[in-house]
Amino acid sequence: MTYRIAIGCDDAGLDYKERLAADLRADPRVSEVIDLGVHRDAADVHRPYPEIGLAAGEAVRAGTADRAVLVCGTGIGMALSANKVPGVRATTAHDSYSVERSVLSNNCQVLTVGQRVVGLELARRLVREWLGYEFDHRSPSAAKVELIAEYERC
């Protein structure tokens, strides 16, 4: 399976976003990288993180992206923003086990990292690992994820 990945950041995550986007473009599991901004030396460089997080969530919800990677100072603001989009599950992760469980237990489609929290090489590793996990809709976790989906439909 290959993924269409939306990627975005605010000004606090720009350096990592650029490196992660390059990694994603070189990864055979990725068929397309959709850069939602911000961009260095562009008018959008100071766009607030909620705009980017919401845009990534909307891309996942609309099906134009299968997953998204978002970067801000901590990863928290981006996760909060993307999670406001119904049907989207976003998480901040700073370790391999959390990345694994975010997909296998929670079917998260959006991974966020904090440029001010984790080193670049760790962020790159976490994104590579995250791409390797697929949610099993027959797993015991599927019923729990469905409870969240049911609540959103109310």
- pLDDT for 44: 87
Per-10-residue mean pLDDT of the chain, 154 residues long, equals 97 98 98 96 91 98 98 98 98 98 98 98 98 96 95 89
Specify the pLDDT at position 39: 95
> What tokens appear for 47 in the block?
């766009």
CA distance linking residue 116 with residue 75, whole number of Å: 9
Which domains occur in the chain, in start order?
Answer: 3-153 (3.40.1400.10)
Tokens 């055979």, residue? 28
User: Long-range contacts made by residues 21-24, C-beta under 8 angstroms, separation at least 24?
Assistant: 23/124, 23/127, 23/128, 24/69, 24/127
Question: Which position among 9, 72, 108, 154 bears the catalytic label?
Answer: 72
* Alpha carbon of residue 97 to chain centroid: 16
Residue 64 pLDDT: 98
pTM comes to 0.96
Contact at 8 Å (CB) between 151 and 113? no
* Catalytic residue flag (residue 72): yes
